Chains A and B, each alone.
Chain A
Amino acid sequence: MSGVQSTGALRALLKRDLLLAYRRRSEMAQPVIFLLVVVSLFPLGVGPSPQLLGTIAPGVIWIAALLATVLSLDSLFRSDFEDGSIEQFLLSGHPLTLIALIKTAAHWLTAGLPLVLLSPLLAVWMNLPAEGARVLVLTLAIGTPVLSLIGAIGGALTVSLKRGGQLLSLLVFPLYVPLLIIATNAVSAATAGLPFAGQLGLMLAGLVGALTLAPFAASAALKLSLE
């Protein structure tokens, strides 16, 4: 299969996935609303002290973003798997790795990007200082694609199971640990006026690593699920 043909097919796939997401707007809005509700529970649970909220803000917002991403991951491959589209993708002869990458990109655009755009509001809610809020948006912009990429492996592994949702969270949360540590540390460092370029550099390295490796694992998992 020549490269040109694949490019056209992949562009069509991205367009199709975005269109499907647009047609299911209310379903796509669920992770975003989930994020808002979870973050708003924290001031109610730990008390409205601005000092305390500002300290725990990076962790709370990041963990809420992890939960919201995992919530939307289960549907990443599921509908395509159930209606047989994935089988057709495989038969089409286009590399399944690239198809997995495109589907992950569509997932990030519809589920990850809204979280990034919403994060300034969350920073205000959680009383995060302005320097911290800027870095929070940056870490989420770098980190949410990694969440989608690693999560796609879990989604592909559990797609042939009837109830994969809870299992999926068990599989991917341990893999998210490094990202959570580094991202929240960058935000805390920025709030304290310390340098944070190193943390962002590590996150970018993680993004490059996930971008190059995760689609291969995801496509292997998809093939396995089709067996």
Chain B
Amino acid sequence: MNRVWLFFHKMGSPPWFYRFSGKLLPWLWGLFFVLAAWGLYLGLVKAPPDYLQGESARIMYIHVPAAWMSMLIYVLVAAMGLIGLVWHVRIAEIMAICSAPIGAFFTAIALATGSLWGRPTWGTYWVWDARLTSELVLLFLYLGVIALYNSFDEPRKAARAASLLALVGVVNLPIIHYSVTWWNTLHQGTSISASGSSIHPSMLWPLLIMAVATKFFYAANLLVRTRHRLLLQDHRKQWVRNVIMKEGS
């Protein structure tokens, strides 16, 4: 227990975090590249084309992990924001706000790939289907958090305000999701949806590998963004000078 607490306390210190994340980063990027290459090879080359949708179903290996990440990251933004708000941990505040753009990009990727997938299979780029709509609302929630952060001059106050908004959003997220599902099912009766358990292993494995790969991508990207923002915010502090002297030489 003691060692765990010590670890968390150390993580709260910018110079320690910077050094630790620097050592971690190559591993995270390496795992991401290996897993993504493996998953994409299995998904794009080895997996059979879908019997109904043909080759277009392969977009699933990007689309589904991106959609999963879009929701996971929003919850993480709120969780890290809560840690920042309650315990005043600056690293958590910065990580929360650095996660938001990554989550927004995953949401945008999920929407874009979904719309490209919808064209050959549903015959249209966009329908007001429950999943599409809640993903779109999620994108708006992300944009709200980012916009609120950017409108403050003082970074700490900005991060705290954005964290609070993310917390309000995460309480609303399930309500939005269920209300949208309910709204759609009342209007349309049946809709096209992936039945999770009925996926053949040859298609399921690349999907799972890609889902893990995107987690590593998120972790690596988040650390890069957090390190960058730490350097910017602390640019007058001694530890940043030491880092620059060491890495610059």
Is A221 positioned at the interface, with any CB of B under 8 Å from its CB? yes
Q: Write out the residue numbers on chain A whose beta carbons fall within 8 Å of the beta carbon of B161.
A: 157, 221, 224-225
Contacts of A150 in B (CB 8 A): 168
List, in ascending order, chain B residues with CB within 8 A of A182's CB: 179
Q: Give per-residue flags for B161-191: 1 if the beta carbon is below 8 A from chain A beta carbons, else 0.
A: 1001101110110011011101100100000
In Å, the complex CA distance between A157 and B158 comes to 10
Residue tally, chain A, CB below 8 Å to B: 26
Q: A157-B161, A181-B179, A185-B186 are in contact. Are A167 and B168 (CB under 8 A)?
A: no
Q: B249 near A: Cβ within 8 Å?
A: no
Do the beta carbons of B157 and A227 come within 8 Å of each other? Answer: yes
Q: Are B175 and A174 in contact (CB-based, < 8 A)?
A: no
Of the residues A158, A160, A177, A213, contact of B137 by C-beta under 8 Å = A177
Q: Which residues of A contact B169 (CB under 8 A)?
A: 174-175
**Contact status B176-A171, CB under 8 Å:** no
| A206-221 with Cβ < 8 A to chain B | 206, 213, 217, 220-221
Cβ-based interface call for B27 (8 A) = no
Partner-A contacts on B (CB < 8 A): 85, 137, 140-141, 143-144, 147-148, 151-152, 157, 160-161, 164-165, 167-169, 171-172, 175-176, 178-180, 182-183, 186
Q: Are A171 and B164 interface neighbours, CB within 8 A? A: no
Tell me the bound Cα distance from A96 to B36 in angstroms: 50
A178 within 8 A of B: yes
Q: List 22 A-B contacts (CB under 8 A).
A: A153-B168, A157-B148, A158-B148, A167-B147, A167-B148, A171-B144, A171-B165, A173-B140, A174-B144, A175-B168, A177-B180, A178-B172, A178-B175, A181-B183, A182-B179, A213-B171, A220-B85, A220-B164, A224-B157, A224-B160, A224-B161, A224-B164
Say yes or no: A170 contacts B144, CB within 8 Å. yes
Mark each residue of chain A from 67 to 105: 1 if its CB lies under 8 Å from any CB of chain B, else 0: 000000000000000000000000000000000000000
Given the complex of chains A and B, what is the CA–CA distance between A160 and B175 in angstroms?
29
Question: Is A20 part of the binding interface, using a Cβ–Cβ cutoff of 8 Å?
Answer: no
* Chain B CB within 8 A of A44 CB: no
Q: In the complex, A85→B28 CA distance in Å?
A: 51
Chain A residue contacts of B143, Cβ below 8 A: 170
Kindly list the 10 A-B residue pairs having the minimum CB-CB distance in the complex, ordered from nearest: A178-B179, A174-B140, A181-B183, A171-B144, A181-B179, A178-B175, A174-B141, A174-B137, A170-B144, A175-B172
CB atoms of A167 and B151 under 8 A apart: yes
Question: Which residues from 119 to 177 on chain A have a C-beta closer than 8 Å to any C-beta of chain B?
Answer: 150, 153, 157-158, 160-161, 164, 167, 170-171, 173-175, 177
Whether the Cβ atoms of A185 and B157 lie closer than 8 Å is no
How far does the Cβ of B2 sit from chain A's closest Cβ, in whole Å?
33
User: Distance (Å) between the CB of B178 and the closest chain A CB?
Assistant: 8
Min C-beta distance of B89 to chain A, whole Å: 16
CA distance A178 to B179 in the complex (A): 5
Residues in A neighbouring B157, C-beta threshold 8 A: 224, 227
A171 and B148 contact, CB distance less than 8 A: yes
CB neighbours (8 Å) of A224 from chain B are 157, 160-161, 164
In the complex, the answer to whether B148 meets A181 with C-beta atoms within 8 Å is: no
State A155–B147 Cα separation when bound (angstroms).
15
A157 contacts across to B, CB distance below 8 A: 148, 161, 164-165
Which residue in chain B gives the minimum CB-CB distance to A179?
Answer: B179
Residues of A within 8 A of B137 (CB): 174, 177
Q: Mark A188-227, 1 if CB is under 8 A from B, else 0.
A: 0000000000000000001000000100010011001101
Given contacts A178-B175, A227-B160, could you give 8 more A-B pairs where the C-beta distance is less than 8 Å?
A157-B161, A157-B165, A171-B144, A175-B168, A175-B176, A177-B137, A178-B178, A206-B175
Given B85, B152, B176, which contacts A161 in the complex, CB threshold below 8 Å?
B152
